[in-house]
């Protein structure tokens, strides 16, 4: 019986790994106005993709102690469209404290993340690099 339970748990774990979205992981954002950057964990949240701020770093590369936004959600409601493209989500810019419509595209270990205004006609983006 113990063997059957362990086998079932292993299969469930394998199935979850096999179905992981390619964008899942930890990403280093582009630099902000002060040269600092963030690490953002991207993972499924329900049927969508979300991203949460893990750590903040100063321009020197040193971790920012007591960063006020650690653990806050930065990306939500992002829906995979296929071919490495995601849309329909929102992104929060902690520097400006503003939320924008967002879309993302994944190519290898580079994730281009865009925040858009004016109905999606004007977008500004950053390239993020996979950390893990």
In a domain, 119, yes or no: yes
Residue-wise pLDDT tens digits, 6-61? 334 343 343 343 467 899 999 999 999 999 999 999 999 999 999 999 999 999 99
In a domain, 98, yes or no: yes
- When divided into structural domains, the chain yields a total of 1
Domain of 120, in residue numbers: 22-130
Collapsed DSSP state (helix, strand, coil) of residue 95: coil
Q: What is the mean pLDDT of residues 118-131?
A: 89
Q: Residue 118's pLDDT band (boundaries 50, 70, 90)?
A: confident
In a domain, 60, yes or no: yes
Which pLDDT belongs to residue 19?
61
pTM: 0.82
In a domain, 14, yes or no: no
For the chain, the first-to-last Cα distance in angstroms comes to: 36
Task: Check which CATH number belongs to the domain holding 33 and give it.
Answer: 2.40.128.520
């Amino acid at each position: 019986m113990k063997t059957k339970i362990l086998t079932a748990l292993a299969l469930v774990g394998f199935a979850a790994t096999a179905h992981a979205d390619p964008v899942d992981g930890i990403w280093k954002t582009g630099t902000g106005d002060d040269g600092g950057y963030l690490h953002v964990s991207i993972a499924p949240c329900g049927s969508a993709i979300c991203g949460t701020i893990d750590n903040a770093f100063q321009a020197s590369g040193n971790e920012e102690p007591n960063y006020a936004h650690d653990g806050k959600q930065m990306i939500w409601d992002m829906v995979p469209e296929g071919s490495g493209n995601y849309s329909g989500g929102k992104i929060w810019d902690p520097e400006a404290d503003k939320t924008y419509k967002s879309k993302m595209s994944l190519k290898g270990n580079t994730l281009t993340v865009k925040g858009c205004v004016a109905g999606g006609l004007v977008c500004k983006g950053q390239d993020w690099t996979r950390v893990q």
